[in-house]
Amino acid sequence: MVKKRDRDKQAAADTDKTATGADAGKKGDVRPPKKNTLKEYAKAIGSALLIALVLRQFVFQAFRIPTGSMLETLQIGDFLFVNKFLYGAKTPERIRIGQTTLIDGLPVLKLPAIREPRQGDIIVFEFPDNRNLDYIKRCVAVAGDTVQVRDGVLRVNGEIYESNFADLDGDHSCVPTWADPESCPPPRTKRDRAAFVRNQRNQSWPWRGSPEVYVVPEGHIFMMGDNRFNSMDSRYWGALDTSLIKGKAMFIYWSWDKNKHPLGIKLLGAPRLSRIGDLIR
């Protein structure tokens, strides 16, 4: 009997030890370790920023239209996306903040292009005279093409190029008239008689003293604004080196008209809802 009682006491003691260990597990070992919330947020934000930077550099980039050199195709206040990979995206050769270059001369890796720029493309590029500025114009001629302006009418390879720009192989010979600027199929040049008369350089190009016909050199394209009589373009600063190209304009994702004043409040402006989602041609 004594031995039996001793065995029962020992079993009870073992049971108490087991229960005590389980309780300890509930209080400590079973509970998951606390996460560092700040560290998790930092990782998520860092990952999102990295993805955004890669997309911006190699896929799409947003731009805003600040001037009227591409009227009526693009309006002041249009916000658009640019295709970066069509002509071959590349790593940045310099780092800049706004219009200030911080680091220049970085090694560049360029991805293969899907196709080369061609006549009719609307392209965003670095301004040759100040690469901290981004310009947008239409490519009217590529390497080997001849360019000439007479009486305000553009001729490329001897053929008039004034309208129907979206159709690469179409007829571009319709010239909008002063009386009816919308008389030709769009996209077309914008006619501004006052600017045409005011600036004699709009009337003919190449200017006096240069060969009558300009030949676009290799590795370059010739850029002009659709609002040609109010455009600072290749007529003034030369053919564009293709290494300065950033991408092809794709579509408008937002448009804001600061000259519209809803409720009579001049500071507001208003969106151009009808332009949102328009493809750029």
**CA–CA gap between residue 216 and residue 156 (Å, rounded):** 10
Q: Please indicate, yes or no, if residue 103 is contained in any of the structural domains.
A: yes
Which long-range contacts (C-beta less than 8 Å, at least 24 apart) are formed by 170-179?
none
Q: Is 137 a catalytic residue?
A: yes
**Active-site option among 9, 34, 43, 69:** 69
Q: Please indicate, yes or no, if residue 214 is contained in any of the structural domains.
A: yes
Q: Please indicate, yes or no, if residue 46 is contained in any of the structural domains.
A: no
Burial class (CB in 10 A: 0-12, 13-18, 19+), 137: buried
Q: Please indicate, yes or no, if residue 85 is contained in any of the structural domains.
A: yes
**CA–CA gap between residue 246 and residue 10 (Å, rounded):** 83
Q: Please indicate, yes or no, if residue 43 is contained in any of the structural domains.
A: no
Instruction: Judge contact between 139 and 145, C-beta under 8 A.
Output: no
Q: Is 255 a catalytic residue?
A: no
| pLDDT classification of 17: cutoffs 50, 70, 90 | very low
Mean pLDDT of 86-111: 84
Per-residue pLDDT reduced to its tens digit, 213-230 = 999 999 999 999 999 999
In DSSP notation, 216-235 reads PPTTEEEEE-SSGGG---HH
Q: Please indicate, yes or no, if residue 14 is contained in any of the structural domains.
A: no
In DSSP notation, 90-145 reads B--SEEEETTEEEEE-----BPPPSS---TT-EEEEEETTEEEEEEEEEEEEETT-
| pLDDT classification of 209: cutoffs 50, 70, 90 | confident
Q: Please identify which residue in the block is written with the tokens 């229960």.
A: 19
Mean pLDDT of 21-28: 46
pLDDT higher than threshold 50 for residue 194: yes
Q: Please indicate, yes or no, if residue 12 is contained in any of the structural domains.
A: no
CATH of the domain at 67: 2.10.109.10
Per-residue CA distances from 40 to 51, 148, 204 (Å): 17, 61, 63
**Active-site option among 3, 47, 110, 137:** 137
Question: In this predicted structure, which of 63-67, 94-98, 187-191, 267-271 has the lowest mean pLDDT?
Answer: 94-98
Q: Provide the number of structural domains found in the chain.
A: 1
Per-residue CA distances from 96 to 26, 59, 242 (Å): 56, 19, 20
Of 177 and 264, which is predicted with more confidence? 177
Q: Please indicate, yes or no, if residue 13 is contained in any of the structural domains.
A: no
pLDDT (0 to 100) of residue 18:
41
Mean pLDDT of 192-199: 92
Range of the domain at 256: 61-275
Burial class (CB in 10 A: 0-12, 13-18, 19+), 136: buried
**CA–CA gap between residue 243 and residue 192 (Å, rounded):** 32
